[in-house]
Amino acid sequence: EIIRQLTAGAHQNSAPAVLLSFDPHPAVVFGAQDLKCLTTPNERAEIIQALGVDYVITQTFDKNIANQTAEEYMALMVRHLGLKKLLIGYDFALGKGRAGNYEKLTQIGLESGFDVLRVEAIRFEDGIVSSSIIRQRLADGDVAGAAAKLGRYYAVSGPVNPGDGRGRTIGIPTANVEAPADKALPANGVYACYAWVDGQKHPAVTNVGVRPTFDSGKNIPRVEAHLLDASADYYGKIMRLEFVERLRGEQKFPSIEALVAQIHADIDQARKILSP
């Protein structure tokens, strides 16, 4: 909603629409090291520009930025961007001690020549849309719920790297997607997905997890996608996985035969979900 109002207002006034974001997340700088991002800077820029924003600025967030007062930071925005109108979310604040809330920014705007518009929260039946709620949906494996709040499928992108070839030996080859280390992953489990590679969209079954049938004792999640209608070698290419629906949790099977039977059942279920 903020972006929609930003682009509409900017274009009505023949002005560029500029979106400023910070990386890393301020919470990471202040010690919440386990906070994973929902979008990488490149993903964020791609999504935002597709919505009609003219320029996306990603500013490195550090303690020097955090210690600037709201007045100091906004003076830089006016000087370098020619700021005329600032759109912020309902709970936004910037500057040292988060002193630059809506009221403070409005006061600064009156003194510095820019307007401030606060966009109210978007509400669903189960509450306000926020990044923390989306992270919780992902942690629960509820990728459909996350998509409903995002307005798009949650996606994970990365290069396809060689694996150990186990999938190919059982007749179900997989692409091993190296997700960014700071990217939030859905809960361990099996998902119906769309895989994008070389500009083409393919239905896929994706496993997120530690492969307990093969790798007992390991706890680093892997992302492995089996494309249902393609068998090309995608090593080195970038693949984007859009998570549509969770099929089941990750399981340890008593035998390879039991695992293969379940994967074929997963494939059948995914085809039904992803069919046009």
**Active site residues per annotation:** 224
CA 77 vs. chain centroid, Å, equals 27
Q: What number of other Cβ atoms are within 10 A of residue 192's Cβ?
A: 25
Task: Give the chain's length.
Answer: 276
Compute the distance between CA of residue 141 and CA of residue 144 in angstroms, rounded to an integer.
9
Map the chain to HEC letters: CHHHHHHHHHHHCCCCCEEEEEECCHHHHCCCCCCCECCCHHHHHHHHHHCCCCEEEEEECCHHHHCCCHHHHHHHHHHHHCCCEEEEECCCCECHHHCECHHHHHHHHHHHCCEEEEECCCEECCEECCHHHHHHHHHCCCHHHHHHHHCCCEEEEEEEECCCCHHHHCCCCCEEECCCCCECCCCCEEEEEEEEECCEEEEEEEEEECCCCCCCCCCCCEEEEEECCCCCCCCCCEEEEEEEEEEEECCCCCCHHHHHHHHHHHHHHHHHHHCC
193 within 8 A of 206, measured Cβ to Cβ? yes
